[in-house]
Structure 1
Amino acid sequence: MSMFCYQCQEAAGCKGCTVKGVCGKTEDLAKAQDLLIYILKGISVYSVKGREVGVINKEVDKFITEGLFATITNANFDRNVFIQRVRRGLQLREELKQQVINAGANLGNSNANENWLKKMLSFVGFKREEESNLPDAAIWFANNVEDFNVKAETVGVLATENEDIRSLRELIIYGLKGMSAYVKQATHIGYDNDEIHGFMHKALAATLDDTLTLDDYIALTLEAGKYGVDGMALLDKANTEVYGHPEITKVNIGVRKNPGILISGHDLRDLEQLLQQTEGTGIDIYTHSEMLPAHYYPAFKKYSHFAGNYGNAWWKQTEEFEKFNGPILMTTNCLVPPKDSYKDRVYTTSVTGFEGLTHIDANEKGEKDFSVIIEHAKKCAAPVEIETGEIIGGFAHNQVFALADKVVDAVKSGAIKRFFVMAGCDGRAKSRNYYTDFAQALPKDTVILTAGCAKYKYNKLDLGDIGGIPRVLDAGQCNDSYSLVLIALKLQEVFGLKDVNELPISYNIAWYEQKAVIVLLSLLYLGVKNIHLGPTLPAFLSPNVAKVLVDNFGIGGITNVEDDMKMFLGQ
């Protein structure tokens, strides 16, 4: 079985990448990632039962979360990392298996132990006529790369033959990948939730169960949305309790004359440590792409060397990193394979990686030593200026609640006729210029609610304001789509509506990778309907699964600005 990957919006031909990923992922790398996911499913089988008998292994929680996160599009391109994770995963699975056996019964021999486990795991869904078989992912073992390669050939996406079951299994797994990103960032700050880990493991184990029906998987998909909301709420709590609630902030997009370090990705704890370690060094810190919203948090405003935002969305980094001159720190996914002209200036941390780049690990306390980046920066020229001016943001839920009376008055007076949620991801496809054109074509009495890097398609346009309320309200990173949900629910409450879908809010969302998938599932769980996705619908939605989403939730695609504008505005 050759490579097959269709987890992101760039899937070749809107069907799947079979030779090399459009993202830059090679066949060998894709298969190593497939094998890791398979191992995570096997570990999850034991973790699910372990939780039933009081065994919660935090190392397992961490390993599964980071393993899922590492396989998100544009996170890690280093195959060696995945081979190491497979090795450790197999060891960890066997350690957890023994813990579960020890917690459940004092059985005399390994065969008896295994038979006991087979019976005890039946509630997960492994209810076969013969209980003598655990899922292969729970028992397969190897310790050399050759065997890994052979196994990887058989456990990829296409191993599930029924395309509808395959579609729902992958939809769930991609949702879990997105969920893992938010949980990983929250745990880095010191916040965690055992129930979320428990669900992630239950869902992974369920994708091994051939007795589950389409209806079973649809229910599990919606349950993933529930835990997606919980995951975003956890990260929101972590960020706001530690760094304060985002405030309306003007962010400089020009440059200063000092050497700089550019930090990209999403992890605010990494930014905090970098700011602390560079204070007084004469080095300025700039954010890039999804790190832009860090400027909205009060805790970071005390750093005078926190200079501004440099550049745009993730996909432009191949030209913008070249011009920055200084080192770049990638804290999470959104890494594009670097060009040789600046490759020596790119550093990775957390689950992010690329062969040949310097990787910075945390110690047991989660602390990182960025001295190698700082010393590198001291030898570099200041960034080349690529634009000037300011952009405004910081309209997360707490800030918008503070403006609630003003917003409500504008709606009641007719000054604001409709809100458009245009959150999500940006990407390379020229078809994404649709979102710039759409924003420009919107009537002057409409407001855009945004989060994620999709905002770079319109956040630098001069779209004006409505009675002092900017027409683009940026809530923050992709995980801050949670803020947009809270804003909608608050408006529903204020206007006394029974259904959030009665609000004058339309959803025209751009997606690219798996964090957008969990945001979508979360919105569906909350009952939001008539969401339009673009620039294409996901390749992993089979026709039948897509029909379920259309019939039950009104999911739709996009066409062109003129026709879509008429559709959204009921003209």
Structure 2
Amino acid sequence: MDRNPMFCYQCEQTAGGKGCTKMGVCGKTPEIANLQDLLLHQAKGISCYCVDLIEKGETIEKEIVSFVENSLFTTLTNVNFDAEVHVEMLKKSQQIKKDLRNRVSGDKSYPDQATYNLSDTKEEMLEDSIKAGIMYDKDLNEDVRSLRQTIIFGLKGVSAYAHQARALKYEDDQVDNFYFRALEAVTNGNLSVEELIQMTMRTGDMSVAVMKLLDDANTTKYMHPTPHKVNVNIQKGPFIIVSGHDLRDLEMLLEQTEGKGINIYTHGEMLPSHGYPELNKYSHLVGNYGGAWQDQQKEFDGIPGCMLMTTNCLMRPRETYKDRIFTTSVVGWDGVEYIPADKDGYKDFSKIIDKALELGGFQSSEKPKEILVGFGHNATLSHASEIISAVKSGDLRHFFLIGGCDGARPGRNYYTDLAKMVPKDCIILTLACGKYRFNKLQFGEVAGLPRLLDVGQCNDAYSAVRIATALADAFDTDVNGLPLSIVLSWYEQKAVADLLALLSLGVKGIFLGPSLPAFISPNVLQYLVDTFNLRPISTPEEDLKTCLQQSV
């Protein structure tokens, strides 16, 4: 029995809309939650020393950057549930902090996050973790707490995108240094609410920068996505389902399974992979299996194949498939086979390949059913002249960006209903796994284009911005002057990073749901409403009416 209670409110489905205190809705135990709190405590301490060294002109080693990045990513929702992994990371964090402490000089006073020394055993670490808890300082101003946590959750989203880019050898020193500056800022008791708001918006700037970085990495390595039909029904034969977000992991698996008679299916946020020419050239990338992350337990239940989880979106594996689900990167669950990378980033997938062959796969094929993906900014803007002409002629009335994280909480049918209600002279852009609420429906065409354009993964909010900016330039206005409405669903911290990115770009009038974040205090929410006209969703009918009142 865990001795310490937990407190976590970083995801949309947090208990009672207030915070998980006994067990995470995601499956996170109090033990894992408290170890994660302590790991973040350590990352903040590391950052305090790093900021001092940066100010003195020193360069922080990329190994330290990667560790802090992985610490943030590991604590993101539905990533890692393995206590021993957290303990090993905590031990490494103390060694890094000790080395940095020896590099700084002077008599400067540092906060507890920096001066704290990690205890020797897991039991002692758990006792120490109490002071690392979000609600430990009962007297902390609620707006300060709210903004600090918004920054941290935004950083977690940034870390996920930066981690993917780093796997492709793309890095951004500005983003790397920002980890330290932002984590140091949330330990600084002298910062005002106004200064923390500035840091929150700066987190949005970094989210834009890192999404651009990842877009550059993906489109350079795998070429720009192009429209591509994807079969969403199964085919006969052995198979591996790849879930998460990491394109490099998918590529390595495709390389290692080529010619072995194994079908590869994408799952969840990996669906947009089919749009990349350097990935869809593999004939054994046969389709997409299932829907969004929250359905994986029933979708994976007892099927005769293997699953590979490459980033977040892992749920508690059922015993019926625990022996055939594998994790890699920062993902982990106690008792689940983990596939490591060597020093060059290469991963040997022979264990999952052998298991897939042993299981034999599906015994028959279903009749193919196809959906269309691949409308990133390059593909969509290749039709810019037709889009502009259609808008000017009145054939194309409005654009709706409907997307974001999906989840299991009641109320998410709103997004399905809204998409169905969008008039036939409008285009729907979609991204992230929220698209599964409606991406198998038939929407037809308008002005010679599909009415539903799949822009990509959650990080491809950058693509949507590129599309919107280009159209705004064509109409000599800004994004807020376009006939464009943005309706977002959120679940975890990458969605927080995406929202902060849009706000930092000055985008106004965003609809957000299905509920507002528990970590946003009333005063901070009022600031967002007053400054950015941020709106909670209401009903599809009312919100659609509001959206269609906009015009160029």
Aligning the two structures, in what range does the TM-score lie when normalised by the shorter sequence? over 0.9
Rounded to whole Å, the distance in 1 between the matches of 2:225 and 2:67 is 31
The corresponding residue for 1:414 is 394
Asked if the contact 1:5/1:18 (under 8 Å) is kept, the reply is: yes
Asked if the contact 2:302/2:320 (under 8 Å) is kept, the reply is: no
* Helix, strand or coil at the partner of 1:423: strand
The corresponding residue for 2:312 is 333
Is 1:257 the counterpart of 2:236 in the alignment?
A: yes
Is 1:137 the counterpart of 2:113 in the alignment?
A: yes
Farther-moved stretch of structure 1 (265-274 vs 53-62): 53-62
CA shift for structure 1 position 85: 0.8
Asked if the contact 1:164/1:214 (under 8 Å) is kept, the reply is: yes
Q: 1:41 aligns with which of 40, 44, 56?
A: 44
Letter in 1 for 2:126: N
The corresponding residue for 1:455 is 435
The corresponding residue for 1:78 is 82
Point out where structure 1 has 5 or more consecutive residues left out of the alignment.
102-112, 119-132
The corresponding residue for 1:21 is 24
* Helix, strand or coil at the partner of 2:516: coil
Is 1:247 the counterpart of 2:223 in the alignment?
A: no
The corresponding residue for 2:327 is 348
The corresponding residue for 2:360 is 381
Letter in 2 for 1:134: Y
* Helix, strand or coil at the partner of 1:329: strand
Q: 1:227 aligns with which of 206, 218, 225?
A: 206
Q: What are the superposed Cα offsets for residues 56-108 of structure 1, whole Å, 9 maximum, x if unpaired?
A: 2111100000110011100111111111111110111111222x33xxxxxxx
Q: Which residues of 2 match residues 223-372 of structure 1 at below 5 A?
A: 223-322=202-301, 324-372=303-351
Is 1:481 the counterpart of 2:458 in the alignment?
A: no
Rounded to whole Å, the distance in 1 between the matches of 2:58 and 2:334 is 40
Rounded to whole Å, the distance in 1 between the matches of 2:101 and 2:217 is 32
Point out where structure 2 has 5 or more consecutive residues left out of the alignment.
none
CA shift for structure 1 position 388: 4.3
Asked if the contact 1:47/1:201 (under 8 Å) is kept, the reply is: yes
Asked if the contact 2:73/2:159 (under 8 Å) is kept, the reply is: yes
Q: 2:373 aligns with which of 385, 390, 393?
A: 393
Farther-moved stretch of structure 1 (318-327 vs 397-406): 318-327
The corresponding residue for 1:125 is none
Asked if the contact 2:444/2:450 (under 8 Å) is kept, the reply is: yes
Letter in 2 for 1:80: E
Call closer, same or farther: CA 1:89–1:430 in 2, change over 3 Å: same
Asked if the contact 2:35/2:87 (under 8 Å) is kept, the reply is: yes
Asked if the contact 1:78/1:354 (under 8 Å) is kept, the reply is: yes
Asked if the contact 1:69/1:75 (under 8 Å) is kept, the reply is: yes
Q: Which residues of 2 match residues 108-147 of structure 1 at below 5 A?
A: 113=105, 115=107, 118=108, 133-141=109-117, 142-147=119-124
Rounded to whole Å, the distance in 2 between the matches of 1:159 and 1:394 is 46
Asked if the contact 2:70/2:163 (under 8 Å) is kept, the reply is: yes
Q: What are the superposed Cα offsets for residues 297-345 of structure 1, whole Å, 9 maximum, x if unpaired?
A: 0001221111110110001101111254201000000011111111111
Farther-moved stretch of structure 1 (558-567 vs 5-14): 558-567
Is 1:167 the counterpart of 2:170 in the alignment?
A: no
Q: What are the superposed Cα offsets for residues 172-212 of structure 1, whole Å, 9 maximum, x if unpaired?
A: 00000000000000000111111101011100011001111
Letter in 2 for 1:397: H
Letter in 2 for 1:136: D
Asked if the contact 2:310/2:329 (under 8 Å) is kept, the reply is: yes
Rounded to whole Å, the distance in 1 between the matches of 2:516 and 2:63 is 36
CA shift for structure 1 position 24: 0.8
Rounded to whole Å, the distance in 2 between the matches of 1:322 and 1:383 is 14
Asked if the contact 1:222/1:524 (under 8 Å) is kept, the reply is: yes
Is 1:151 the counterpart of 2:155 in the alignment?
A: no
Q: What are the superposed Cα offsets for residues 210-239 of structure 1, whole Å, 9 maximum, x if unpaired?
A: 111100000000011111100000000000
Call closer, same or farther: CA 1:88–1:387 in 2, change over 3 Å: farther
CA shift for structure 1 position 55: 2.7
Q: What are the superposed Cα offsets for residues 99-141 of structure 1, whole Å, 9 maximum, x if unpaired?
A: x33xxxxxxxxxxx451xx1xxxxxxxxxxxxxx311111110
Is 1:202 the counterpart of 2:205 in the alignment?
A: no
Matched residues, percent identical? 49
Q: 2:14 aligns with which of 11, 15, 30?
A: 11
Asked if the contact 1:12/1:22 (under 8 Å) is kept, the reply is: yes
Rounded to whole Å, the distance in 2 between the matches of 1:465 and 1:538 is 36
CA shift for structure 1 position 570: 2.9
CA shift for structure 1 position 386: 7.8
Rounded to whole Å, the distance in 1 between the matches of 2:545 and 2:153 is 33
* Helix, strand or coil at the partner of 2:542: helix
CA shift for structure 1 position 387: 7.9
Rounded to whole Å, the distance in 1 between the matches of 2:52 and 2:278 is 42
The corresponding residue for 1:122 is none
Q: 2:156 aligns with which of 170, 177, 180?
A: 177
CA shift for structure 1 position 468: 2.4
Asked if the contact 2:398/2:426 (under 8 Å) is kept, the reply is: yes
Rounded to whole Å, the distance in 2 between the matches of 1:79 and 1:202 is 28
The corresponding residue for 1:465 is 445
* Helix, strand or coil at the partner of 1:157: coil
Is 1:541 the counterpart of 2:520 in the alignment?
A: yes
Rounded to whole Å, the distance in 2 between the matches of 1:347 and 1:54 is 40
Q: What are the superposed Cα offsets for residues 231-279 of structure 1, whole Å, 9 maximum, x if unpaired?
A: 0000000000000000011111122211000000000000000000000
Asked if the contact 1:250/1:390 (under 8 Å) is kept, the reply is: yes
Letter in 1 for 2:44: K
Letter in 1 for 2:146: S
Give TM-score scaled by structure 1 length: 0.93
Letter in 2 for 1:463: F
Asked if the contact 1:253/1:387 (under 8 Å) is kept, the reply is: no
Letter in 2 for 1:27: P
Asked if the contact 1:393/1:473 (under 8 Å) is kept, the reply is: yes
Asked if the contact 1:57/1:96 (under 8 Å) is kept, the reply is: no
Give TM-score scaled by structure 2 length: 0.96
* Helix, strand or coil at the partner of 1:308: strand
Q: 1:440 aligns with which of 411, 420, 436?
A: 420
Letter in 2 for 1:51: I
CA shift for structure 1 position 471: 1.1
Rounded to whole Å, the distance in 2 between the matches of 1:252 and 1:164 is 48
Letter in 2 for 1:95: D
The corresponding residue for 1:521 is 500
Asked if the contact 1:15/1:539 (under 8 Å) is kept, the reply is: yes
The corresponding residue for 1:130 is none
Asked if the contact 2:130/2:136 (under 8 Å) is kept, the reply is: no
Q: What are the superposed Cα offsets for residues 370-395 of structure 1, whole Å, 9 maximum, x if unpaired?
A: 00000001011323768840010111
Call closer, same or farther: CA 1:319–1:303 in 2, change over 3 Å: same
Asked if the contact 1:225/1:521 (under 8 Å) is kept, the reply is: yes
